[in-house]
Chain A
Amino acid sequence: DAGITQSPRHKVTETGTPVTLRCHQTENHRYMYWYRQDPGHGLRLIHYSYGVKDTDKGEVSDGYSVSRSKTEDFLLTLESATSSQTSVYFCAISESAGGWETQYFGPGTRLLVL
């Protein structure tokens, strides 16, 4: 699992409340990603990071912000949760070996916004 953990694993919250999801990795990977997975849409990239304090938007970044103050942690924040953000959120890292780059995923966080 490339040493990736996500917390919390499940969360129920109310519309309008802020929510922060945490991705933690133990193997000093430079690149980290946040995806959401929804029926009919597959996995879509929200934000990604290519180093400490270096982040960029993915294809569905509206309503989300991220921060990476240290290599091992990548935080995803929903400033004011909406029902459309009910989803399963996956964190991923990129690992290169022998010139080949592979992505590994965390176990996911199920978020329900009421």
Chain B
Amino acid sequence: KQEVTQIPAALSVPEGENLVLNCSFTDSAIYNLQWFRQDPGKGLTSLLLIQSSQREQTSGRLNASLDKSSGRSTLYIAASQPGDSATYLCAVRLYAGGTSYGKLTFGQGTILTVHP
């Protein structure tokens, strides 16, 4: 059974700091890994998707890396801003055909607070 762990559970940083969120998974036979952002009381917003054949993806100040063999992914946020405060979730999708298409296993998330 795939298990996904995110460290740290919570992180508080001053504005402008660069930071790294970690995600680890137990089964390396993944199809892809996705990072989401969740604001309080809201749904999930997809940030970055990394296919199993890729090493990293970038979007603006966000960079996500994937090391499938070691079962790890990191989300790097550059020059953090108070607006980045949210819960960040990683989710992995195992490589499987048929009707298991698309099922995600989530980590418990990292609660990020960026203070001015």
Q: Interface size bucket, B side?
A: 20 to 34
State in angstroms the CA–CA spacing of A33 and B102 once bound together.
9
State in angstroms the CA–CA spacing of A54 and B102 once bound together.
15
Q: Min CB distance, B16 to chain A, in Å?
A: 29
Q: CB-defined interface of B10-52 with A at 8 Å, one 1/0 digit per residue?
A: 0000000000000000000000101010000011111001010
State in angstroms the CA–CA spacing of A45 and B102 once bound together.
11
A102 is an interface residue with CB less than 8 A from chain B = yes
Q: Min CB distance, B31 to chain A, in Å?
A: 8
Given A42-B89, A43-B89, A102-B34, A33–B103 Cβ distance below 8 Å? yes
Q: CB-defined interface of B75-116 with A at 8 Å, one 1/0 digit per residue?
A: 000000000000001010100000101111111110000000
Which residues from chain A contact B51 at a C-beta distance below 8 Å? 100
Q: Which of A42-81 contact B (CB under 8 A)?
A: 42-45, 48, 50, 54, 56, 58
CB of B99 within 8 A of CB of A107, answer no
CB of A94 within 8 A of CB of B106, answer no
State in angstroms the CA–CA spacing of A48 and B42 once bound together.
21
Interface SS of chain A: helix, strand, loop or mixed?
strand
- Contact residue among A48, A58, A108 (Cβ-Cβ distance under 8 Å from B43): A108
Given A54-B99, A94-B101, A103–B106 Cβ distance below 8 Å? no
- Total number of A residues with any Cβ neighbor in B under 8 Å: 27
- Contact residue among B43, B89, B99, B102 (Cβ-Cβ distance under 8 Å from A94): B102
CB of B102 within 8 A of CB of A100, answer no
Which residues from chain A contact B46 at a C-beta distance below 8 Å? 102-104
Q: Min CB distance, B48 to chain A, in Å?
A: 10
Residues of B within 8 A of A (CB): 4, 32, 34, 36, 42-46, 49, 51, 89, 91, 93, 99, 101-109
* A-B contact sample (14 more), CB < 8 A, given A43-B89, A92-B44, A101-B102: A41-B108, A42-B106, A43-B44, A43-B104, A50-B101, A94-B101, A103-B34, A103-B46, A103-B102, A103-B104, A105-B36, A105-B43, A106-B43, A107-B42
Closest 7 pairs between A and B when the two form their complex, measured CB to CB? A94-B102, A42-B108, A105-B44, A43-B106, A42-B106, A105-B43, A107-B43
